[in-house]
Structure 1
Amino acid sequence: MTLVAGVAGQPIVHSLSPLIHGAWIEAAGLDAVYHPYGPADAIEFAALVARGRAGELRGLNVTAPFKQQALALADAVSPVAWACGSANLLRFERGLVHADSTDGTGLMAALAEQAPGLDVRDKAVVVLGAGGAARAAVAVLTVAGARVGVLNRTVARAESLAADLKAAIAGPAALGTAALVVNALSVPPEIDLSALRRDAVVLDMTYRPVITPFLAAAGARGLTAVDGLAMLIGQARPSFTALFGIAPPDIDIRGRALAALGEIDP
């Protein structure tokens, strides 16, 4: 019986997840498919989840704007997803919905790959933003032992996130002591990169383009830059295992993703 999984979001046409998971499925020789789903609204997303409950789907990766709804529809929630307040992974089993979040795992995998010298334990970290992506970053970095501060234009949102996850509120001055700055905004951040330490690492969760203006400016200053594509692949690996029961095959998945984006490895 063919296993059916996919990714749900709106818009979904530009998602690289079908390419990534499809390549792994092919390399592993699995009888499985991974589809993009683009529910128009919350009602259609709930209907898609209902199809999973009914046994039509093995599971779903979930992206904006349905991550919070995915958590709310679940019967069982992992501690990580609960801390994030959202889920990017749903598994369907015997009529039940299991929610998890692999975004934080992806962030740590990207750091390990592209900034292997960074140890965040007891280091100051600044997360830019206060949405779902920022929550995932704050949650995993706090667990890793970092001293995390949240910097957001809307202070009330930063205060809410910080209170939920036992983080601190950061002002612009915090950038000067940060070992790591994570951009969890959907737009280029307006910060003074000259204020950062010379050995600071910057990570941008966005991967279109792979080298964002934020990362390009950081690289021009000699800072270590970690891109969102590494994070995307990092979160996809545990998702693939959860959905299909095996580890992803060892193929050049980054190269395939870069080719699809029309880019070369920076």
Structure 2
Amino acid sequence: MTLRAGVAGQPIVHSLSPLIHTAWIAAAGLDADYCAFGPADAAGFAELVADGRAGRLRGLNVTAPFKEQALALADEASAAARTCGSANLLVFENGRVRADSTDGVGLMAALTEQAPQLDVRGRTVVVLGAGGAARAAVAALSGTGAAVGVLNRTRARAELLAQGLGATVVEAEALAGAVLVVNALSVPPEVDLSCLRDDAVLMDMTYRPLVTPFLTQGRARGLTTVDGLGMLIGQARPSFHAIFGIEPPPIDVRTPALAALGETP
């Protein structure tokens, strides 16, 4: 029987997840299908989850705006999902729904791949933003022993995020001491990068465009940069394993993903 899985979000037409997972499915020789679902609203997403409970889906990756709802609809959740307050992965088995968050794993994988010299343990890192993406980044980085600061235009939102995650709320002055700055905003941040250390690393969680204005500014300063595509692929690997029960084959999925973005390797 063909295993059915996919990614759910709105909008979803530009998602690279089907390309990545389909390449792994083909390389592994699985009888499986992974496609994009674009529920119009919360009710439509709930219907997808009901399909999973009924055995018509094996798993779902979840993106905005359904990540919090995904956690709420689950019967059980990993510590990572509970910490993030959202889930980007649902696995269906015997009528039950298991939620997880692999975003933090993806973030750390991207840093390891593209900034292998970086060691954040006991050092200052700053996360820009206070939404769901920022929460996943703060949770992952705090778990490594980094001293995480949250910088957001609305201080109250930053304080709400930092609570319980071992982070602090900081002002722009904190950037001067950061070894890593992560942009978790969906728009280019309004920060002055001239104050950064010469060995600072910049990461943008967005991958459209691959080299964002934030990363372009960092490269102009000669800084190491980490793109959001590395994180997307990094979070997809544990998702594939959770859904299909095997590790993704060791093939190159970044090159076709870059081609889909109109980028060159």
TM over 0.5: yes
Query: Shift in Å at residue 195 of structure 1?
Result: 1.0
Q: Distance in 1 between matches of 2:261 and 2:160?
A: 36
Q: Distance in 2 between matches of 1:47 and 1:246?
A: 27
Amino acid at match of 2:108: M
Amino acid at match of 2:242: A
Say which SS state the counterpart of residue 161 (structure 2) adopts. helix
Which consecutive residues of structure 1, in runs of 5 or more, have no partner in the other structure? none
Give the TM-score normalised by the residue count of structure 2. Answer: 0.99
Say which SS state the counterpart of residue 164 (structure 1) adopts. coil
1:202-252 deviation per Cα after TM superposition (whole angstroms, max 9, x unaligned): 000000111111101100101110000001000001101111111111111
CA RMSD, Structure 1 to Structure 2 (Å): 0.6
Equivalent residue, structure 2, for 1:263: 263
Equivalent residue, structure 2, for 1:52: 52
Equivalent residue, structure 2, for 1:206: 206
Divergent runs of 4+, >4 A: none
Say which SS state the counterpart of residue 164 (structure 2) adopts. helix
Equivalent residue, structure 2, for 1:101: 101
Query: Shift in Å at residue 164 of structure 1?
Result: 3.0
Equivalent residue, structure 2, for 1:79: 79
Q: Distance in 1 between matches of 2:256 and 2:103?
A: 21
Query: Shift in Å at residue 72 of structure 1?
Result: 0.5
Amino acid at match of 1:235: Q
Equivalent residue, structure 1, for 2:194: 194
Query: Shift in Å at residue 170 of structure 1?
Result: 1.0
Q: Distance in 1 between matches of 2:19 and 2:3?
A: 17
Q: Distance in 2 between matches of 1:166 and 1:217?
A: 29
1:164-215 deviation per Cα after TM superposition (whole angstroms, max 9, x unaligned): 3121001000000000000000000110000111100000000011111110
Percent of paired sites with the same residue: 74
Amino acid at match of 1:139: A
Correspondence list, 1:136-147, <5 A: 136-147=136-147
1:67-112 deviation per Cα after TM superposition (whole angstroms, max 9, x unaligned): 0000000110100010001000000011111000000000000000
Q: Distance in 2 between matches of 1:42 and 1:4?
A: 21
Amino acid at match of 1:20: I
Amino acid at match of 1:23: A
Equivalent residue, structure 1, for 2:64: 64
Correspondence list, 1:1-266, <5 A: 1-265=1-265
Amino acid at match of 2:143: V
Say which SS state the counterpart of residue 34 (structure 1) adopts. strand
Give the TM-score normalised by the residue count of structure 1. Answer: 0.99
Say which SS state the counterpart of residue 4 (structure 2) adopts. strand
Query: Shift in Å at residue 63 of structure 1?
Result: 0.1
- Of the structure 1 ranges 200-209 and 162-171, higher mean CA displacement relative to structure 2 is found in 162-171
Which consecutive residues of structure 2, in runs of 5 or more, have no partner in the other structure? none
Say which SS state the counterpart of residue 231 (structure 2) adopts. helix
Aligned residue pairs, count: 265
1:40-71 deviation per Cα after TM superposition (whole angstroms, max 9, x unaligned): 00010011101101110001000000000000
Q: Distance in 1 between matches of 2:164 and 2:44?
A: 30
